[in-house]
Structure 1
Amino acid sequence: MKNLLLPLILLFTVSISAQTKVGGMVVDEFDNPVAFANVIFKNSFEGTITNDDGRFYMESDKTHDALLISFIGYEDLEIPLTSRVTYNMKVVLKESTQQLKEVVVISGKQSKKNNPAVEILKKIWAKKRQNGIRKFKQYAYDKYEKVEFDLNTIDSALMQRKIFKGLEFVFQDLDTSRITGKTYLPIFLNETFSKVHGDNILNEEKEQILGNKNSGFDNNQAIIAFVDDLYQDYDIYNNYLKFFDKSFTSPLSRTGIDTYNYALRDSAYIDNKWCYNIVYYPRRKNELTFKGDFWVNDSTFAIKNINLEVTKSANINWVKEIYIEQEFDVVNDSVFLLKRDYMLSDFSFQKKEKSRGVYGKRTTVYNNYVFDEEKPKEFYRKDRNPFDPSVMNQDSVFWARNRLEELNKDEKGIYQLLDTLKTVPKFKSYYNLVSILASGYVEIDKWNMDIGSVYDVFGFNDAEGPRIRLGARTYFGENDPWRLEGYMAYGFSDKKFKHGISGKFLLDKQSRLIVSGGHRRDIEQLGVSLTATNDVLGRSIASSAVLTVGANNRLTNINLSAFGLEIEPITNVRFRLGSTFRTLRSALPEDFSLDYIDPDTDTVASETKQLDVSTVVIYTPGKRTIGYGVERRDINDTYSTILLNYTRGIEGPWGSDFNYNKLQFSYSQPWQIGGFGRLYSTIELGKTFGDVPLSLLNVIPGNQTLFTTYGTFANMDFYEFVSDTYAAVHLEHNFNGRLFSRIPLLRKLNLREIVGLRGVWGELSDSNIALNAPTNIPLISPDERIYYEYSVGIGNIFKIFRIDFNFRGNYLDRPNARPFAVTGTFGFSF
């Protein structure tokens, strides 16, 4: 999803006027940068704070004639502004000879005791559940959201590059950001209008999207989903704020006094309410923190406005700056409601001052609050698809009536210029290339087909040797009610063709009734997941891994036919009823045996034919999706997943060999552990009733590849343990650099520490052992004691690589047991 930043780099132009612009650097008398110094326009509430290098930039729609600069322990400084634009200022602060008059403070790190700012903070904690929409039983409001992406740091060298030859017209009108002072070129604009209803008693909230419009990419839900995932809602009163998969400590958090320095800077009337101004900045570098200030009312202790800027040293990738402003409206003496929320993110490969990147700007305006109008519980549970055709095609009258903040003339021009760009062949070529990299598919519009995935073209395993694969799928649009997909593959060692084809059809949009079916004949590494569902075209990485540990020869020839029905009568509750018929035999019989004693003839059989009927219930509370076609996109990853699967094996039809019953359960949950990172947890339970051959038993998922794969056991070989009854747990915690940030030599590397613990217990009945007759696979289950492994990993190496050191805890006396293993993975993450 995050790869979709790439298609947004090539598009369009804008201009925003400002009356006063200032920028420069604040230093002390020894020419050292002064970080977190306060910079404010005189006689105003418009201000900012210098970054880690002492730099600042600020602009205002008003004309100002002086700038006030201050920092605790230094004398305040007033600088006259003689022109509308003043850049490259160098401000020297002198050490103060006396303490500030109004507040007793300590220079540098602030005291937690006898600090008036901390005393005010405690009152904010006490009142936070009594402010805003939380004061009422029910609430509703209108919400208008505008998201814009801009290519920033535009200069003559960039304009003259060959990539922009023929596209020079997009640079006709450039301006500077009011936050960073950099030139920028708008490339994408998305607008959404919605109605939000909530119930504080039921703890339910529902957002009904009534209109959505985006520049040049109508109906492109990949981009819309990316935007929704990138800019999820947040509440500054929460202890932790989640941005870009990271959990930042809020300056209003109860743990804030251990994370931030606070100082009371000023007090004044704002909208006829007396408010205090508190400045905050982090106590330590490299943690996920902010710097900024906020104004808080002196009686309700509700926030009137706040700004948050992520510190430059924060351990986050590809994001150079994050700046947030929130403004609250005074309704009466005790109610302050969120009025406007602005967020700017500067995405860049580097954090250097002059490096180029992409701005992501979100502006959200709230209005028409209504309280204590009760809705039935069913109202919140009933799903309204947020992007049906009527939502995507609202007319100009709708937008003129529902825009809570008017577009300026340059934002209006984005739609016109994007339409022009789409007609330029060179731009279309760039866009198509980046789309291939992002999706993995080559689009052939005239055939309504995609070729791919390009990432699956080459593979290797012991049975096939080098392998090539070519696939295709139908694609008329994001919301196709049906989709066909297939592939052909060829192995150069076994000299055999393989294939797979599947189709799915959405019969009813309201209940999401889907019928699906398909067929696959291929070579597969079975046993890499305990509770995997039957995906006709699914293929594990272990089946084509180029590099493996030990002999990776326990592969299976699979001939699979499947048919299924799926329905979602309640949001996030899915029911599946399906049937499969499989023929399974070893792909390398001389190395890996799937033989068993045929109970009817008492002879050895090497092939299993099996008809199964299964019923699956999947519950994903909190999951958010987008789209109304047969395939939808997830736009969050914070939800839990509960799966219950019952499988009935039927003997007889089409030569099916066995009667049995299998029951499986799994529960996966991500946990945000405050500022200490994220814990992923999974519990799996299962039992097979009846006697079945090895090919139908539960294989404990080993991992002989060099890739770190959650849910597998890195020190266990494929088929090392098998069972008919099992219980497994997987725990993995990513501290996101919380520990390394406290080690001086490691702090600047922005590494992240990951620890893991996984264990499994299982048993295998005597009758199942007697049924099977493999000549080279010992049928062992971890029934004596729980098999366990633990791991310590280092992530974010060069921002893209993670390495894990895995240790086997027991069963070390097993033949070829691997007490230690090193695995790794590549990936782009914030």
Structure 2
Amino acid sequence: MKKLFTLIVFMLSFSTWSQTKVEGIVVDENDNPIAFANVMFKNSTEGTITNDNGRFYLESDTRYKVLVVSLLGYTPQEIELTKSINYNLSVTLVEGEQLDEVVLYVGKQSKKNNPAVEILKKIWAKKRENGLYKFDQYAYDKYEKIEFDLNTIDSSVIKSKLFKGMEFIFDHTDTSSVTGKTYLPMFINESFYKVYGDNKLKKEKEELLGNKNSGFNTNQTIIAYVNDLYSEYNIYDNYLQLFDKSFVSPLSKTGVDTYNYVLADSAYLGKKWCYKIIYYPRRKNELTFKGQFWVNDTTYAVKEIDMQATKSANINWVKEMYIEQEYEVVNDSVFLLKRDYMLTDFSINKKEKSRGVYGRRTTVYDNHVFDDEKPKSFYDKKIDPFNPLVYDREDEFWENNRLEVLNEDEKGIYKMLDTLTTVPKFKQLYKAAEVLASGYFEFDKLNFDYGPLYSTYGYNPAEGIRVRVGGRTYKTANDQFRLQGYTAYGLNDRKFKYGISAKWLIDRKNRIILSAGTRRDVEQIGVNLTNTNDVLGRSFASSALFTAGANDKLTNINLTTAGLEFEIFKNLKLRGGSSFRTMRSALPEDFSLSYVDLDAPEGVSDVTRQFETYLTLDYQPGRETIGYGVERRDQNDDYAHLFVNYSLGVKGILDSDFNYEKVQFYYRKPWMIGGFGRLQTIFEAGKVFGEVPLSLLDVVPGNQTYFSIFNTFPNLNFYEFVTDTYTSVHLEHNFNGRIFSRIPLIRDLNLRELVGVRGVWGDLSEENKLLNTPANIPLIAPNDKIYWEYSFGIGNIFKVFRIDFNFRGNYFDLPEARRFSVTGSFGFEF
């Protein structure tokens, strides 16, 4: 069967456009793989470099008969290609005299008197003058094609029970032009945009005119995930943001400290004389590439570049990543990006024969127009996030606007995938994957989802074991109306809890949303400084079966809220509403919420009833979303978040107990610090004006679980600090393995180092202390000095685990003060 499959692949290969294909490995006399060896078709500029394991794949539309493999310090080898397709080649390089032709320098190259570095410096000096930066305004057409494919298809895959009843899909296998592996297309998406920009205004507008995909037409989650994977990048930037990581660009000003550069050749590309520069990393395990680029000899604009991520790069689930960019010569001084191709091989591990999924993105740019000035209002005007015509274009539209014609295999994908989605077994597999990803089980005929499944069981001292069932109305991801609810039962307190929430998108253009809900439950209200009126938010009271110390400071809360919000402009929302809540301790013997009440029979009340109105301003610049319904999903997580809240408590309304005002400020911002990793920052501040009970004060968020939860203090117990005025800062930096990659003994483990520092200052007025005298816990605020903690963490343990070692900085004399703690988390990250 394996021989038959090899024959089928061989025959299919002749149907592709390429005329010459070679694949194999380069080794030395001891059979050790040789990395970064030069592999080229003789008398051509077409070539590649072996990867970290000495393997290579190369193909060309031209028929070549000789392959040249060379390396400084070895005798070059010329291999005769008797066939157009040559797989499983093994080339042995013998140490000896190095000839002058086709030379690749290896090892560390000098930064001084290196002609390649001198050319690189001229690229830096000219980069702002090339391409779109030369003009005040610009506009162009943009066509994007994204495809996902199963790769390393062999006879065992074809015969697998998993694909029983779906064997017809294997008629559409093809061979990658980058890796030489056989793959099976599973998803394709095409988009066509008009892009407008103004360099003086620093504004850009992208208008989607057409979108077409097959297999998952209505699944915006998949489309959003695809878009998130393939973010935009610019090779002239010092760092390229790919998969939430900062790769050092080969054209970076810090490149000479990261890469070795060699001036390898010069030749005409089109009508332009260009230099060929080869580059490869100076060290292993860093986020770097290897490859080559051609640069013009007068304008120093890059004409072509290819970049292949090194296998030792500290990135998970990505075995291969390959990028090609081609630039168009407009005139003597202007080069514009014409075509951008990126292939990613997603896999569980980086072994050569491991199976995975190819993600391929091709972007083509054309029809540039310059210096056509448009008013600022043109860029500020909102674009309808969903125009049904965009997703229902006729074939004629695509024939006229595809900037790159689909080949025969790609044309067949649409028909194959449309057929596949009608196969019952595929529907079952797809539905199972959706349940795992969303946590909800869909009942399509009822337009209802059961879940979230992961909240079914919980535990806390008040309820004991807690069982929860719930669901939501769900027709599509773009529903204008969403109703959600749940009920829960505690085996200890033998009480039912419930929650229900409704949201209605009244006006899609201005995103006017009316919401209301009610909830009766047991809650841990001391886990956030900034208020939230989310009725169905996550309950920290039942989030863990194991805690550090007794989680006995729980509150019975009955909350009803209603609000209205609208989007002033993109990502700026104004929200107003009101709420009414009653709160009492769920474990009064251990945790009292009592306060002085002169109108009560005994002068003390243990229940707080409070009506409150609120007005919030929520700004998230740079946020990209998918969907146009009442709920939208984020496409990125690198945006800032600014939140300002004003609350007014009014005594007397619905028998409310207190008058007060509360102001709160929240700011979160992630920062990519070049090649040094990612810094996450949060700043919060707030104040309560007036006298309020403990249930309405601001509690510094402790963390008594064994999970690492950002924006909490892992060495604080719940209610250890209580304030009516506070300022808090949290800093956490992930170096993404930059330090560990330079330590030989642990380098290959691909671990990642994290450091964190957090601090809070707060105060509590004497009036509020007196009001809460009946409380049976100490009311302490960190007003004498700033309370602070620091932590050291190790991430990417077995690719999924993280462990943090947390240290308390001061206030050691407080009761039950925890000087040290260990927390951890589990997750999938690139």
Using structure 1 for the length normalisation, give the TM-score.
0.97
Counterpart of 2:3 in structure 1 is none
1:346–1:360 Cα contact (<8 Å) kept: yes
Post-superposition offset of 1:350: 1.0
1:542, 1:17 → 2: CA distance?
61
The superposition leaves residues 42-62 of structure 1 with CA deviations (integer Å, 9 ceiling, x where unpaired) of 333322110001110112222
1:543, 1:684 → 2: CA distance?
26
Q: How does 1:405-420 map to 2 (within 5 A)?
A: 405-420=404-419
Q: How does 1:397-796 map to 2 (within 5 A)?
A: 397-601=396-600, 603-796=603-796
Counterpart of 2:54 in structure 1 is 54
Post-superposition offset of 1:177: 1.0
Structure 1 residues 168 and 772, CA gap change in structure 2 (3 angstroms)? same
Compare 658-667 and 170-179 and name the one that shifted more: 170-179
1:73–1:99 Cα contact (<8 Å) kept: no
Counterpart of 2:314 in structure 1 is 315
Compare 72-81 and 247-256 and name the one that shifted more: 72-81
Gaps of 5+ in 2: 1-11
1:610 is paired with a residue of what secondary structure? strand
Post-superposition offset of 1:96: 5.3
Counterpart of 1:396 in structure 2 is 395
Post-superposition offset of 1:100: 4.8
The superposition leaves residues 637-678 of structure 1 with CA deviations (integer Å, 9 ceiling, x where unpaired) of 111011111111111111111100000111111111110100
1:604–1:773 Cα contact (<8 Å) kept: no
Post-superposition offset of 1:599: 4.7
Post-superposition offset of 1:16: 4.1
2:126 is paired with a residue of what secondary structure? helix
2:74–2:96 Cα contact (<8 Å) kept: yes
Counterpart of 2:185 in structure 1 is 186
State the AA in 1 paired with 2:805: F
Post-superposition offset of 1:377: 1.8
Post-superposition offset of 1:216: 2.0
Structure 1 residues 633 and 86, CA gap change in structure 2 (3 angstroms)? same
2:761–2:785 Cα contact (<8 Å) kept: yes
State the AA in 2 paired with 1:692: V
1:160, 1:183 → 2: CA distance?
16
1:717, 1:810 → 2: CA distance?
14
1:73–1:108 Cα contact (<8 Å) kept: no
1:21–1:87 Cα contact (<8 Å) kept: yes
Compare 165-174 and 489-498 and name the one that shifted more: 165-174
State the AA in 2 paired with 1:765: S
2:173–2:185 Cα contact (<8 Å) kept: no
2:522–2:541 Cα contact (<8 Å) kept: no
2:105–2:262 Cα contact (<8 Å) kept: no
The superposition leaves residues 430-486 of structure 1 with CA deviations (integer Å, 9 ceiling, x where unpaired) of 111111001111111100111111111111111111111111111111211111111
2:761, 2:542 → 1: CA distance?
25
The superposition leaves residues 352-408 of structure 1 with CA deviations (integer Å, 9 ceiling, x where unpaired) of 000000000000000001111112222222231443322111121211111111111
Compare 788-797 and 420-429 and name the one that shifted more: 420-429
Structure 1 residues 296 and 774, CA gap change in structure 2 (3 angstroms)? farther
Post-superposition offset of 1:542: 4.4
State the AA in 1 paired with 2:616: V
2:541, 2:233 → 1: CA distance?
39
The superposition leaves residues 114-172 of structure 1 with CA deviations (integer Å, 9 ceiling, x where unpaired) of 11111100110111111010111111110000000000011111211211111111112
Structure 1 residues 124 and 73, CA gap change in structure 2 (3 angstroms)? farther
State the AA in 2 paired with 1:701: P
Identity, % of aligned positions: 65
2:101, 2:394 → 1: CA distance?
59
Alignment of 1:804 onto 2:804: yes
State the AA in 2 paired with 1:310: A
1:109, 1:540 → 2: CA distance?
55
2:409, 2:446 → 1: CA distance?
37
The superposition leaves residues 157-216 of structure 1 with CA deviations (integer Å, 9 ceiling, x where unpaired) of 121121111111111242321111111110000011001111111212111111111112
1:258 is paired with a residue of what secondary structure? helix
Compare 533-542 and 487-496 and name the one that shifted more: 533-542
The superposition leaves residues 207-229 of structure 1 with CA deviations (integer Å, 9 ceiling, x where unpaired) of 11111111122232111111110
Post-superposition offset of 1:555: 0.6
Counterpart of 2:136 in structure 1 is 137
2:24–2:55 Cα contact (<8 Å) kept: yes
2:172–2:412 Cα contact (<8 Å) kept: no
Counterpart of 1:22 in structure 2 is 22
2:523–2:555 Cα contact (<8 Å) kept: yes
2:774, 2:408 → 1: CA distance?
75
1:687 is paired with a residue of what secondary structure? strand
Alignment of 1:299 onto 2:294: no
Counterpart of 1:325 in structure 2 is 324
State the AA in 2 paired with 1:41: F
Counterpart of 2:108 in structure 1 is 109
1:799, 1:387 → 2: CA distance?
38
1:650, 1:532 → 2: CA distance?
17
State the AA in 1 paired with 2:439: G
2:579, 2:74 → 1: CA distance?
76
Alignment of 1:337 onto 2:336: yes
Counterpart of 2:361 in structure 1 is 362
State the AA in 2 paired with 1:462: P
1:744 is paired with a residue of what secondary structure? coil
Post-superposition offset of 1:17: 4.3
The superposition leaves residues 738-790 of structure 1 with CA deviations (integer Å, 9 ceiling, x where unpaired) of 00000001101000000000000000000000001344210000000000000
2:74 is paired with a residue of what secondary structure? coil
State the AA in 1 paired with 2:241: K
Post-superposition offset of 1:41: 2.0
Alignment of 1:45 onto 2:38: no
Counterpart of 1:4 in structure 2 is none
Structure 1 residues 393 and 303, CA gap change in structure 2 (3 angstroms)? same
Q: How does 1:809-820 map to 2 (within 5 A)?
A: 809-820=809-820
Alignment of 1:272 onto 2:280: no
1:73–1:106 Cα contact (<8 Å) kept: no
1:706 is paired with a residue of what secondary structure? coil
Counterpart of 2:5 in structure 1 is none
2:469, 2:98 → 1: CA distance?
76
State the AA in 1 paired with 2:759: G
2:746 is paired with a residue of what secondary structure? helix
1:542, 1:24 → 2: CA distance?
58
1:149, 1:541 → 2: CA distance?
38
Counterpart of 2:152 in structure 1 is 153
Compare 283-292 and 211-220 and name the one that shifted more: 211-220
1:223 is paired with a residue of what secondary structure? helix
State the AA in 1 paired with 2:655: G
The superposition leaves residues 273-301 of structure 1 with CA deviations (integer Å, 9 ceiling, x where unpaired) of 00000000000000000000000000110
1:242 is paired with a residue of what secondary structure? strand
Counterpart of 1:9 in structure 2 is none
State the AA in 2 paired with 1:71: L
2:45, 2:505 → 1: CA distance?
55
Structure 1 residues 336 and 96, CA gap change in structure 2 (3 angstroms)? farther
2:106, 2:705 → 1: CA distance?
55
2:612, 2:753 → 1: CA distance?
43
Post-superposition offset of 1:106: 6.5
Using structure 2 for the length normalisation, give the TM-score.
0.97
Structure 1 residues 179 and 295, CA gap change in structure 2 (3 angstroms)? same
1:399 is paired with a residue of what secondary structure? helix
Structure 1 residues 151 and 645, CA gap change in structure 2 (3 angstroms)? same
Structure 1 residues 736 and 542, CA gap change in structure 2 (3 angstroms)? farther
For these two proteins, the number of residue pairs brought into alignment is 817
State the AA in 1 paired with 2:811: Y
2:116 is paired with a residue of what secondary structure? helix
